[in-house]
């Protein structure tokens, strides 16, 4: 059942590889104005992040999916989001963790952190606590015991 939750986070689509996404990205800007191309590249990068939230991806993978180099990707995200692309990835993963906990599908902080590709469960917990003002282990325990108010 928990695997269904992880699959639903990618909205049922199979993850694209950077090379598949690169082909799409390379053709995406052929007939567009520069500002439209930039918006298309940003959308491709965001879509790649969303579809690969539970997969191990790097900033290079995201850049490849958008059809641009890493530095251009960083400038693009800073301009439109005010943060680096890796921060958006982390934010989305923390939000995914919150959703998984809320559905009662998390068994432990360690397992949840690993599924979302956080190598350090302590760092994952810290980011979660900073975002949701709650410790993920307490939320997991509360959902296991049928309390959803923690």
Binning the chain into helix, strand and coil, the percentages to the nearest 5 are 70, 0, 30
Conformation bin of residue 128: beta by default, left when phi > 0, alpha when psi is -120 to 50: alpha
Query: What is this structure's pTM?
Result: 0.76
Mind listing the domains of the chain with CATH numbers? 11-82 (no CATH), 88-144 (1.10.10.60)
Alpha carbons 47 and 42: distance in angstroms, whole number: 8
User: Which of these, 89, 97, 105, 104, lies nearest to 3 by C-alpha position?
Assistant: 105
Give 25-70 pLDDT, tens digit per residue: 555 555 545 578 899 999 999 999 999 999 999 999 999 999 999 9
Give 87-135 pLDDT, tens digit per residue: 999 999 999 999 999 999 999 999 999 999 999 999 999 999 999 999 9
């Amino acid at each position: 059942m928990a695997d269904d939750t992880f699959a639903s986070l990618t909205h049922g689509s199979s993850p694209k590889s950077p090379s598949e996404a690169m082909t799409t990205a390379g053709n995406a800007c052929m007939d567009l104005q520069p500002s439209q191309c930039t918006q298309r590249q940003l959308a491709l990068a965001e879509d790649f992040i969303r579809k690969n939230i539970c997969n191990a991806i790097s900033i290079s993978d995201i850049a490849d999916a958008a059809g641009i180099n890493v530095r251009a990707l960083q400038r693009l995200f800073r301009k439109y989001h005010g943060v680096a692309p890796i921060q958006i990835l982390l934010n989305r993963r923390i939000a995914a963790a919150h959703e998984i906990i809320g559905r009662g599908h998390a068994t432990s902080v360690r397992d949840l952190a690993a599924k979302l590709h956080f190598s350090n469960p302590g760092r994952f917990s810290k980011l979660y606590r900073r975002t949701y003002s709650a410790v993920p282990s307490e939320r997991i325990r509360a959902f296991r015991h049928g309390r959803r108010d923690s």
